[in-house]
Amino acid sequence: MKTIPFPIRSRMKISAWLTHPDIPCFNLSREHADSIEAALEGVCIKICRDRDEFTASLNESEIVLVWTFLQEWFAQAPKLRWIVTPAAGRDYFQVETPEGIAVDYCSFHGEIIAETVIGMLLAHCRGLREADLLTRTNPWPRRELAAKLVPLRGSRLTILGFGNIGAWIAKLAKPFGVRITGIRRQPGPSPEFFEDGDKLLGIESLDEALASTDHLVLALPSGKETDQLMDERRLGLLPGNATISNIGRGNSLDEAALAAALHEGRLAAAWLDVFHNEPLEEDSPLRSCRNAFILPHCSAVSPNYLELFCDEFIHKFRARGDL
C-alpha cells in the first residue's frame, strides 16, 4: 500500500485486537500495523493477540481497532477517544459510549461484496450451480441445463438498500448490460454510471419495483425499519423467474416465507449469505430447498480485506481534526 506520512502533534498509542479463529484475512499483522505507522507519523500500534493482552493495554490507548468492545472496558480506558472496527454493520457494538468517545465503522466492503453478488448472478443465469446439481444424477444433462440458461444482460436488477455496498453492486453489474433499480429510504441523485432505464427510487416505490424485478439483492442494515421488510406479501410480488440474494442482514427477510416460495416454485433461486440466526439452524427449511444456496457469512472475505481497512482507517484519521 502506498502511503504518505501525516504529521500529528504528539505520540499516539493505538491498541489493535483484530483476530479471528476461522478467517485468516481477519487477523491484523505486523505488516498491516507498519503500513499505518508509516502513513501517520508518531502513531504507535500495539498488536494484541488475546483479550487479556488487549484489556491490559487499554490504560494507555487513545484509539482501539477491534471486532468487539465490552461496556466494562471503558472504565479501564481513561485516555480512550476513538473505537474503530472493520465491521460495516452499525449494530456491531452493543455499548453506551461515554462522552468524548467516538465509534466508527467502515465502508470498504462494497467492492468485495459486489464481486460475490456478480458471481451469484452469473452462476444462476449461466447455469453453473444448476449444472453441478444436475450432474449428481445425470452425467450429461445437456437438455435439462439448456432449458434453464438465460442471459444476465438486459435483466432488471433491483438493489434494496442503495448505500455504499448497493452502489458498488450496481457499478460492477452495469458492464454486464443490466438495468438497475436502486431503492433507498430517500431517493437522491443517481450515480454517474447510471444510463437510460436505470433509476433510483424511494422506499415507497418498492412494491411497484418488485413486480418487474428479475434479480433482487438485499443490501440492508439491521434495525426496526428493516425487520421482515421482505415478508411473505412482498416475496409474492416478485415474478416466478426472479432470484433473491441477501448480503446485508438476515433480519430483513422472512426465511420461512422464502423457503415456502422456493419449495413451491414461486421463485427461481435464493443466494443467502446472512441469516436471522448464525450459524443457520441445521433444521432450517432453507437447507432442504434445492434452489437455496447458502454461504456462511463470507461475502466480504478476501485476502486484501485488512489492507482495505488500513487504507480507510488512515483516511478517517486524516479527516479528523481533533487527533
If we measure between CA atoms, which residue out of 88, 91, 124 comes closest to residue 106? 88
If we measure between CA atoms, which residue out of 65, 243, 250 comes closest to residue 158? 243
Is residue 278 part of the annotated active site? The answer reads: yes
Q: Do 320 and 130 meet the contact criterion of CB atoms below 8 Å apart?
A: no
Catalytic residue among 126, 129, 263, 297: 297
Catalytic residue among 278, 281, 290, 320: 278
Q: Do 156 and 133 meet the contact criterion of CB atoms below 8 Å apart?
A: no
Is residue 232 part of the annotated active site? The answer reads: no
Place of cell 458471481: 119
Catalytic residue among 124, 249, 255, 312: 249
Long-range contacts of 26-31 (CB under 8 A, 24+ apart): 26/67, 26/86, 26/301, 26/305, 26/306, 27/306, 28/65, 28/306, 29/306
The Cα 165–Cα 210 span in angstroms is: 20
Handedness of CA 264, 117, 68, 161 (dihedral sign): negative
99: how many CB neighbours lie within 10 A of its CB?
A: 4
Active site residues: 249, 278, 297
